[in-house]
Amino acid sequence: MKNFINKKVLEIPPSGIRRFFDIIATMDEVISLGVGEPDFDTPWHIRESSIYYIEQGYTTYTSNSGLIELRETISKKLFQEHYLEYNSQDQVLITVGVSEGLDLALRAILNPGDEVIVHEPSYVSYKPCIIMAGGVPVVVETKLDDDFQLRAEDVEKVITKKTKAILISYPNNPTGAIINKDNLTKIAKIVEKYDLLVISDEIYGYLTYKGEHTCFATLPGMKDRTILLNGFSKAYAMTGWRIAYAASNRDIIKAMTKIHQYTMLCAPIISQKAAIEALNNGYSYMKSMIEEYNQRRRLIIESLNKIGLNCFKALGAFYVFPSIENTILSDEEFAEKLLLEEKVAVVPGSAFGDCGRNFIRCSYATSLNEIEEALKRIQRFFERYKK
Amino acid sequence: MKDILKILSRNGKEKPEKIATMVGKTKDEIEKIIKEMEEKKVIIKYKALIDWEKAGEDIVYAFIDVKVIPERDVGFDAVAKRIYKYPEVHSMYLMSGSYDFSVVVAGKTMKEVAYFVAERLATIEQVQSTATHFVLKTYKIDDEIVVSLEDKDKRLKVSY
């Protein structure tokens, strides 16, 4: 039988740490700092109201764009929080997670061979999604010395005639980095100068622990050039609901909606209902989760630094990205040995791009007690493998 | 300061060093604040929350709605004092609505609690009436859910 698989799909390299995942799956009693989702359950008021709506028979399709009530609530929220005006009728689209939003955005704008600049270390889906949408990912590395912030000069260096968009994601997974407004403003100028678009994945936007997150669309001239992607997974602990939104100019949202209507039809109605409840009544619950993340963040950063795994002061998301250069191990060896010898799971930095290879990602979306126990074991482990 | 109190309200045994790291202050600062809060009685006491049933100790709780006639000058407080001074009284509140005090009484048996209500509480001069509701099961107490629930971590062990 000939090989029926699409060439583009075949060419996407498999995840380098598949083996590592397979080992974890067979182990019990692992303390995991490797999880990319909140340890909190979705706040009860959201779950409870969703149960009610299921009972009421909210079990149908919705319009392709999503429930108008949800789009209106999102539009109102974006105005209240960022003074951004998006018309709920045709500038907001409800998607199945930011993952879908990202895919739609890329497919809506890319012609074969178009280049998308993406910074690394970053979320694992970006490059494959660009490739599957027919584009070409162009990687810009961010560096520890810059607190993993994307620098406009580095972006400008890789711009070609084929560059169509820059994919920006701050607060960042895996580094926990945030980006300051100054840097964003410089990037915005380049976007203007070279007539580009920005896809801004701001899923961790609420999870910042110093100052306010700057929404890229708020920068001068950027609203129409930005595809803002955000959702409910991280801030409201709603990962399993798969619910998010995209906001942008009419043409882009129209194009994204066209793809969405034929491929997804609509996001699950019950998740849309849950999202409305989250936006209307979830703020205080979200704030208390953020407060707790922040306490754990301080503890984990200080402890890792004490151990000798130098850890920059991550101020966003729920990840820290300590360097393992003081050990004799590579990031993959570190993660695998730590798992086998101490039953603690972390993710090797190289999973998020080559430039992450001297680091590991530790998530503090885990209870304080577990974090403390994990740190004890990491300390023990470090003593065995330090340089 | 409130963040420190919140941490202690969840775990009274949390060490000052750890609290210091969690809230971004020094250990000395934390110790000073805690001491001050203890002196001001903002922190009233450190106690353990015990599941007596698991410990093999039977305790019966009853919530008693008490109607009283308040006294001139001292209002409800003087009557309240006559009630809450009894060690059998576990907690006590002045309520709005159709009765005045909500008194939580603890005893070894229902009989013991009933005896306390009939002989001690109801006989206080200002007490007009009592309605006793026995606790059948405790689900949540002091912010802690005590019935065993499925609280297993359902997440994948590793995800991006």
Has the ipTM of the complex gone over 0.90?
Answer: no
Task: Say what the pLDDT of residue B158 is.
Answer: 87
Measured between CA atoms, the residue of chain B closest to residue A239 is B155
Q: In terms of domains, do B106 and B74 share one?
A: yes
Flag whether A213 is in a domain. yes
Residue B93 and residue B31 in one domain: no
Number of structural domains in chain B: 2
pLDDT at residue B109, as a whole number: 94
Cα–Cα dist B141/A246, whole Å: 42
Residue B95 lies in a domain: yes
Answer yes or no: is pLDDT of B138 > 70: yes
Q: Which residue has the higher pLDDT, A150 or B71?
A: A150
Question: What token pair was written down for B53?
Answer: 């049933």
Residues in B closer than 8 angstroms to A102, CB to CB, are: none
Residue A243 shares a structural domain with residue A358: no
Question: pTM of the full predicted structure?
Answer: 0.91
Tell me if A96 sits within 8 A of A243, measured CB to CB.
Answer: yes
Do residues A26 and A74 both lie within one domain? Answer: no
pLDDT at A241: 98
Of residues B14 and B146, more confidently modeled: B14
DSSP B104: E
Q: Are residues B66 and B128 in the same domain?
A: yes
Chain A residues with CB inside 8 Å of B24's CB? 298
Q: Which of A281, A312, A330 is the last residue of a domain?
A: A281
Q: Is B82 exposed, middle or buried (0-12, 13-18, 19+ CB in 10 A)?
A: middle
Confidence of residue A141 (pLDDT cuts 50, 70, 90): very high
By three-state DSSP, how is residue A173 classified?
coil
Whether A362 maps to a domain, the answer reads yes
Assigned domain for B122 exists: yes
Which CATH number covers residue B66?
3.30.70.920
pLDDT band, residue B152 (cuts 50/70/90): confident
Average pLDDT for residues A213-235, to the nearest whole number? 97
- The Cα of B18 is separated from the nearest Cα of chain A by a number of Å equal to 7
**A300 shares contact with chain B (CB less than 8 Å):** no
Residue B52 falls within a domain, yes or no? no
B34 with B66, same domain: the answer is no
Disruptive mutation site among A33, A35, A98 for chain B (greatest number of B CBs within 10 Å): A35
Asked if the Cβ–Cβ distance from A24 to B158 is below 8 Å, we say yes
Gyration radius of chain A over CA positions: 21
Question: Domain span at residue A322?
Answer: 7-42+284-381
Helices (H), A28-83: 44-55, 68-82
Report how far residue A242's alpha carbon sits from residue A244's, in angstroms, rounded to the nearest whole number.
Answer: 7
Q: Which residues pair with B131 in a beta bridge?
A: B65
Q: Under an 8 A CB cutoff, do A35 and B24 touch? A: no
Q: Are residues B81 and B34 in the same domain?
A: no
- List, for residues B31-43, the tens digit of each pLDDT value: 999 999 999 999 9
Average pLDDT over residues A105-127: 97
Range(s) of the domain holding residue B121: 60-141
Q: Judge whether B20 lies within some domain.
A: yes
Asked if omega into B70 is within 30° of 0 (cis), the reply is no
Of A20, A123, A295, the CB nearest to B22: A295
Residue-level pLDDT at B148: 67
CA nearest to B25 within chain A: A298
Among residues A258, A281, A304, which one ends one of the domains?
A281
Nearest to B159 by CA among A279, A331, A240: A240
- Has residue A80 got a pLDDT over 70? yes
In this structure, are residues A331 and A18 in contact, taking their beta carbons and an 8 Å threshold?
no
Q: How many CB atoms lie within 10 A of CB A300?
A: 28
- Using CA atoms, how far residue B135 sits from A71, B56, B58, in Å, is 46, 17, 12
Instruction: Say yes or no for a CB contact (<8 Å) between B157 and A32.
Output: yes
Pairing between β-strand B144-145 and β-strand B140-141 as defined by DSSP bridges? antiparallel
Mark which of A266, A281, A296 sits at the end of a domain: A281
B77 domain residue, yes or no: yes
Residue B149, strand partner residues? none
What are A227-253's pLDDT values in tens digits? 999 999 999 999 999 999 999 999 999
Residues of A in contact with B20 (CB under 8 A): none
Are residues B93 and B33 both part of a single domain?
no
Say if residue A25 is in the same domain as residue A72.
Answer: no
Cβ contacts of B101 within 8 Å, gap of 6 or more: B64, B65, B66, B68, B76, B79, B80, B83, B92, B93, B94, B95
Query: Is the pLDDT higher at A60 or at B146?
Result: A60
Number of independent structural domains in chain A: 2
How far apart CA A309 and CA A382 sit, in angstroms, is: 8
